[in-house]
Amino acid sequence: MKLVRRITAAACGVTLALGGAVALAPAANATPQGCFYYVLEHKPDADREIAQDACMIGAAGGQQSFQDCYRLLREDYVPAVVAGNACRRAASE
């Protein structure tokens, strides 16, 4: 009887671990996408390639990545508030 409980507990643990990994995987990939769509939502005429590049740079996290992301977006005339919020999203989502 104890063996059955141990097997059941182990199976539940594995299921929860795999479920958590699957649930987190899309979030890790969605980070630059959230930034990208935020930029396009607030400035639809933004250059898509520049926005994508900036968000990919910002996804690395850290002060330098944020500044590089922000600078790229501002060079494309994305408003300062939108650029700042988008670059923060890139690193935090």
24-44: pLDDT as tens digits? 444 444 479 999 999 999 999
| Structural domains in the chain (count) | 1
pTM passes above 0.85: no
Cβ-Cβ contacts under 8 Å for 90 (sequence gap 6 or more): 31, 32, 34, 35, 54, 55, 56, 57, 58, 59, 65, 69
Segment 53-72, tens digit of pLDDT:
999 999 998 999 999 999 99
Query: Which domain does 44 fall in, by range?
Result: 2-92
